[in-house]
Amino acid sequence: MKIMCLNGWGGKLYDKLLPYLKQNSPDILCLQEVVHTPATDKDWLTYKDGNHILPQRANFFRDVEMALPDHKGIFCPAAQGVLWDENAKIPSQWGLATFVRKSYPIIEQTQGFVYKSYSPHGYGEHPRSRSAHAIKVFDYNKNSAVVVTHMHGLRDLNGKMDTPERAMQAHKLVSMATGMAENNDPLIVCGDFNVEPNSETLKILSQAGLTDLVTTLTTKGTRTSYYTKPKKYADYMFVNKHIKVLNFNVIFEPEVSDHCPLILTI
């Protein structure tokens, strides 16, 4: 089974990302920073937050669904805010998504918030609402269930330092993931955590019996050349002792986002 985790950057590099997803076709794709805009058929809209202006692939969720026709896509919104079509406001949902190959039945799942709650009338003040998604699939090749949980950790405008809010979301993430992994189920926890390797967040997950693969296997970080700030770590992938790791890689080439894909084969 191949699991990929990636912050999709709102589909900014979709022309590179979609062929990459088709070629690699992970069995489970954990995708953060996903845009879903049912109110329009436009391909591109603009996100505006003060001086922070980004092109957004308006129906990024739909794009990935079309690229992975053999997968079931589940979109988990954290907020509905506004994107811009020149001077027109378009209501758009933002969150994360999980794509599962249809041959792996989803036998249990939980969608919830690790920070704040759903923001229905605007993206909200920073730090903004953050959700997580946990699924349990059955792997007939191994005759075993596998639990995969991912989140997009809160972004603090002051940086990636430890905060009470980040500690709280880490505990909520652990509770969601371990609550579903019963009877010694293999468990994977991943996502864009928006923290550094020495953070309290990673310590909380480690105390829960989880081992991070990123910090044990690379010193280069998880960001591509599109990310120009100095601190290069953001994304992590943890496993429990019941996961047999066959291969793990942080993918620096090709660049399909400002984050690197994390790919685990078990």
- Cα dihedral 208, 168, 190, 224, rounded to 10, equals -130
Residue tagged 């980004």 (tokens): 54
Fold of 2-265: Deoxyribonuclease I; Chain A (3.60.10)
Q: Is residue 218 pLDDT above 80, yes or no?
A: no
For range 248-261, the mean pLDDT: 97
Cα 255 from Cα 12, distance rounded (Å): 12
Mean pLDDT of 233-243: 97
- Report the percent of the chain where pLDDT is more than 90: 93
Where does the pLDDT of residue 128 fall: very low under 50, low under 70, confident under 90, or very high at 90 and above? Answer: very high
217 pLDDT more than 90? no
Confidence of residue 255 (pLDDT cuts 50, 70, 90): very high
**What number is the average pLDDT over the span 20-26?**
97
Given a cut of 90, whether residue 250 has pLDDT beyond it is yes
* DSSP single-letter state for residue 220: S
* Band (50; pLDDT cuts 50, 70, 90): confident
Q: Looking up tokens 């692939």, which residue turns up?
A: 57
CB 200 within 8 A of CB 189: no
pLDDT at position 131 over 90: yes
DSSP code of 154?
A: P
26 or 50: which carries more pLDDT confidence? 26
**H or E element that contains 17:** helix 14-24
Whether 196 shows a pLDDT value over 90: the answer reads yes
Backbone region of residue 265 per phi and psi (left: phi > 0; alpha: psi in -120 to 50; beta: other values) = beta
DSSP assignment letter at 155? P
Q: Does the model's pTM come out above 0.85? A: yes
Domain ranges of the chain: 2-265
| pLDDT tens, residue by residue, 144-190 | 999 999 999 999 989 999 999 999 999 999 999 999 998 789 999 99
Look at residue 15 in the predicted model and tell me its pLDDT: 97
